[in-house]
């Protein structure tokens, strides 16, 4: 399979779905003339024209509302937010309109739209531009929340999101837009709501998604040097969450570490940790560890930013804690 960047995988998905379905269009700030703030929409204006690749004014509430209305009358809008920090301006449109309309109409109205863009921190963008907001949206019935961590998953899941008849919050990461990975040639999709095991292991389960998947895989390499085989489980879809593969992995390893770039309180990582603790309690040989960002606004300082975010070293330390605290009498408790 050819290797392409995360950005190119998204671009391919957009182009293929727009080619396949004339009802698909893109709207957002700088998506057309500028070719996208992060060049995800590069070349689409030239291929599909200004009626389907639409530059919007700086009004997230306005063009997100436009997307909701367009979806209700049968189109399939893709709303790009330059960053999910800016989606907060459109919170009412997303939460009270997009998420609720199918339920409130008794199924008579569908809202087949995708709201996509980068989520989480980048490099020194400080407190108001470095927030991981997935727990905000995954809290709401009526929304699907997708957070792929590889180019292959990004393409397959975006194609599925565009075809879905429900509003999908599709969260990317500015930091991994340039990351390369193998992507199959030809048509393929990845179902929304399926968890994937990215690395087989027997000693500890590490659950990580989106940008944190790569950080967790790096930690697994460090652990492997000490003979510890970590199994890396990637939910990919946050809502609906497929927890069965996570639980099956924990039943095998008897230990679990959950990684999230978001804050610890009331977050997706906390939800996953709760499910593991409640549904696989009898299989756990140590308490579930949560490795998250520190519970503070993101500082601007490069050094402080690094200290706030999860790192491979923090994950390795958490894995060592669940191994060290093992109830297995064959393991040292010293």
- CATH code for position 52: 3.40.50.970
What are the distances in angstroms from CA 270 to CA 6, 18, 166, 224, 240? 27, 37, 26, 26, 16
Of 155, 182, 209, the domain-final residue: 182
Distance in angstroms (rounded) separating the CA atoms of residues 172 and 145: 11
Is residue 171 domain-shared with residue 233, that is, in the same domain? no
Q: pLDDT confidence of 325, banded at 50, 70, 90?
A: confident
Spatial CA neighbour of 10 closest among 143, 154, 108: 154
Is residue 176 domain-shared with residue 201, that is, in the same domain? no
Q: What is the mean pLDDT of the chain?
A: 95
| 333 within some domain | no
Q: pLDDT confidence of 328, banded at 50, 70, 90?
A: very low
Burial of 207 per CB tally in 10 Å (0-12, 13-18, 19+): buried
DSSP string of 8-64? Answer: HHHHHHHHHHHHH-TTEEEEETTSSTT--TTSTTTTHHHHH-TTTEEE--S-HHHHH
Host domain of residue 213? 196-324
**DSSP H/E element including 197:** strand 196-199
Is residue 128 domain-shared with residue 206, that is, in the same domain? no
Active-site residue set: 60, 129
Quick check: 331 pLDDT over 70?
no
Q: pLDDT confidence of 332, banded at 50, 70, 90?
A: very low
Domains of the chain: total: 2
Q: pLDDT confidence of 324, banded at 50, 70, 90?
A: confident
Is residue 234 domain-shared with residue 173, that is, in the same domain? no
Q: Is the pTM of this model over 0.85?
A: yes
DSSP bridge pairs for 169: 115, 145
> Among all chains, which residue has been given the structure tokens 């399939």?
76
Which distant-in-sequence residues (6+ apart) come within 8 Å of 122 by Cβ? 129, 130, 174, 175
Tell me the pLDDT tens digit for each residue of 98-149: 999 999 999 999 999 999 999 999 999 999 999 999 999 999 999 999 999 9
Tell me the pLDDT tens digit for each residue of 61-109: 999 999 999 999 999 999 999 999 999 999 999 999 999 999 999 999 9
Of 182, 214, 243, the domain-final residue: 182
Distance in angstroms (rounded) separating the CA atoms of residues 312 and 217: 8
Sign of CA dihedral 196, 202, 207, 213: negative
| 334 within some domain | no
Spatial CA neighbour of 145 closest among 235, 75, 227: 235
Is residue 144 domain-shared with residue 237, that is, in the same domain? no
Is residue 216 domain-shared with residue 277, that is, in the same domain? yes
């Amino acid at each position: 399979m050819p290797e392409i960047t995360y950005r190119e995988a998204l671009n391919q998905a957009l182009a293929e779905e727009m080619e396949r379905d004339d009802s698909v269009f893109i709207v957002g700030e700088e998506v057309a003339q500028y070719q996208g703030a992060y060049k995800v929409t590069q070349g689409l204006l030239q291929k599909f024209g200004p009626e389907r690749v639409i530059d919007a004014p700086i009004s997230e509430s306005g063009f997100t509302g436009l997307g909701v209305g367009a979806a209700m009358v049968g189109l399939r809008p893709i709303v790009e937010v330059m960053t999910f920090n800016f989606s907060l301006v459109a919170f009412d449109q997303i939460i009270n309109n997009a998420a609720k309309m199918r339920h409130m109409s008794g199924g008579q109205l569908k809202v087949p739209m995708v709201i996509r863009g980068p989520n989480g921190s980048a490099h020194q963008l400080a407190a108001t531009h470095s927030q991981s907001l997935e727990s905000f949206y995954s809290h709401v019935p009526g929304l699907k929340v997708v957070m792929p961590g590889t180019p292959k998953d990004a393409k397959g899941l975006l194609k599925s999101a565009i075809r879905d008849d429900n509003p999908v919050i599709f969260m990317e990461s500015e930091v991994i837009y340039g990351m390369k990975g193998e992507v199959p040639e030809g048509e393929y999709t990845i179902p929304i709501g399926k968890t994937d095991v990215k690395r087989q292991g027997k000693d500890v389960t590490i659950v990580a998604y989106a940008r944190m998947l790569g950080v967790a895989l790096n930690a697994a390499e460090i652990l492997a040097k000490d003979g510890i085989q970590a199994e890396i489980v990637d939910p990919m879809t946050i809502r609906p969450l497929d927890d069965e593969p996570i639980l099956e992995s924990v039943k095998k390893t008897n230990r679990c570490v959950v990684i999230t770039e978001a804050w610890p309180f009331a977050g997706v990582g906390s939800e996953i940790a709760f499910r593991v603790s409640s549904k696989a309690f009898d299989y756990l040989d140590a308490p579930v560890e949560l490795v998250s960002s520190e519970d503070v606004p993101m500082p601007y300082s490069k050094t402080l930013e690094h200290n706030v975010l999860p790192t491979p070293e923090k994950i390795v330390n958490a894995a060592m804690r669940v191994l060290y605290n093992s109830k297995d009498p064959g393991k040292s408790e010293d």
